[in-house]
Amino acid sequence: MTLAALGDSLTQGYGLPMEDGFVPQLQAWLRASGADVDVINAGVSGDTTAGGLSRVAWTLTPDVDAMIVNLGGNDLLRGIDPAVSRANLDGILRTAQDAGVDVLLVGLDAPSNYGPAYKAAFDAMYPELAQTYGLDLYANFFASLQDGTDLMGVRVLYMQSDGIHPSAVGVGKIVDGIGPAVLSLIAQ
């Protein structure tokens, strides 16, 4: 089975040796769990949902059986209107649906610095799109890092010095968290 991971720097493995990034660690985790799967790294550092939409058609080659969509972080960092992000994600999911490719949609939680209306609109788009398309949703890419440790502790233990990108240890925890959802996706 071939699984494409469409995303941004979180998927691409920014700041890490190649073998420590999300895709190589996920592939190793899946194989250790008995899944015969090749994971394609379709992550581009700095990419927004618009960039993902522009790349999705050529990412979905005939070899791709399933796809993880992990986009939206750079939209957040740039304060892009959630309606625009949502429309781009909708286009990505529609393209995957038209290609007959099952998708695991991976969300993020918006910070509150753009105000409550922005946060509510951004946070709602992932579950609403998953429901619209009948997809599995992994609600927050960083969920497994939030294990009761305070925010400063999370940054020290699991993040690179920029406070945005996970360290190799952080990626390992993220993979441990998301891995069962990916196994469920490829079982479909």
165 is catalytic: yes
9 is catalytic: yes
Residue 112: what are its φ and ψ, rounded to 5°?
A: -90, 0
Q: Which of 8, 85, 144, 165 is catalytic?
A: 165
pLDDT of residue 154: 77
Please identify which residue in the block is written with the tokens 């490829």.
186
**Between 90 and 154, where is the model more confident?**
90
Q: What is the pLDDT of residues 115-161, one digit of tens each?
A: 999 999 999 999 999 999 999 999 999 999 886 667 677 777 898 99
| Residue 146, both tokens | 């939030």
Instruction: Please name each of the domains of the chain with its CATH number.
Output: 2-187 (3.40.50.1110)
CA distance 166 to 136: 23
Q: Which of 98, 162, 176, 184 is catalytic?
A: 162
pLDDT of residue 155: 79
Is there a contact between 11 and 74 (Cβ–Cβ < 8 Å)? no
pLDDT of residue 188: 83
Q: What's the pTM value of the predicted model, to 2 decimals?
A: 0.95
162 is catalytic: yes
